[in-house]
Structure 1
């Protein structure tokens, strides 16, 4: 019974976080109410390893460093979605979480139904991918969550600013994004998430 109640509480917490809760600060972006649009995705090119360069911190990814996703296209058209990260320290044991994603052909594979665990599914949107498939932006309809991914763990400051500018044009509050430390020397630097941040 205790395990059931713990799982039920986790489901409620996760659902409220992904749906956008009343604790989220108001979005000051004048384009906040403009709906997000997905972009077409070439799934074979999109697969592989992506490093999480920045995100809007939330409970499941808060305090994570060296985080990345690895996507593998299955024969049935679904995607094995693996998330790896370390909690607070680069010396911590690497955590691994496994999800199952189902791309929507009607959205040219730009929207994925992500099964976090049965029966919970959420919709993840691909908002941008560059022509060389080196950078991508993911989001959720309420704009309370968003991610910048890259094929390499480091990107230039100019590229980071250009990706934030794209998010701003989409109506995101870009002041909420924090860079994810991918190297120990990035911990504590301005603009990077630090363990214990409460955003």
Structure 2
């Protein structure tokens, strides 16, 4: 297969996500840099189930250094029907919703990989601020097989 063929490969999500296990705090291990995350270090995302059927999303990071001023944004995540809870739409600013697809997930929910069907967004998340390098390399190998441009992936500085 050529690289063009791989990039055109349709992105698949994991078959099922137990939202009760997914909630909690995640540390960003690596990502495709996004303008809204410029200068972010020690990035985390925390998910909480609301009584209204959606998840509350709280993203934090320290600006410009690991000890920088904390930046915070709160949003909502809505599960797409018939997606096994693996496809969500995240909303930080009404009325805009972004696709949030869980494409890789540890059996014990110790890591997750999130993207968008266009593959222009990518986040590797972990329950701990540091990820075992063997686990990281296995994730990278799967991302490569799925046609992701790994030259764009940057590790996130964590304490």
User: Which residue of the partner structure matches residue 74 of structure 2?
Assistant: 98
Provide the rounded CA distance (Å) in 2 between the counterparts of 1:128 and 1:153.
Answer: 18
Contact 2:66 2:157 in 1 (8 A): no
Task: Tell me the SS of whatever aligns to 2:6.
Answer: coil
Provide the rounded CA distance (Å) in 2 between the counterparts of 1:51 and 1:78.
Answer: 21
**Considering only CA atoms, is the larger Rg found in Structure 1 or Structure 2?**
1
Q: Equivalent of 2:119, from 116, 120, 143? A: 143
User: Which residue of the partner structure matches residue 31 of structure 1?
Assistant: 6
Aligned residues, how many?
157
Task: List gaps (5 residues or longer) in structure 2.
Answer: none
Give the deviation of 1:30 after TM superposition: 4.4
Contact 2:31 2:156 in 1 (8 A): yes
Are residues 1:170 and 2:137 paired?
A: no
Provide the rounded CA distance (Å) in 2 between the counterparts of 1:136 and 1:158.
Answer: 15
Moved over 2 A (4+): none
RMSD: 1.4
Are residues 1:55 and 2:45 paired?
A: no
Provide the rounded CA distance (Å) in 2 between the counterparts of 1:77 and 1:46.
Answer: 15
Q: Equivalent of 1:118, from 91, 94, 110? A: 94
Task: Tell me the SS of whatever aligns to 2:82.
Answer: helix
Task: List gaps (5 residues or longer) in structure 1.
Answer: 1-27, 184-199
TM-score normalised to structure 1 length: 0.76
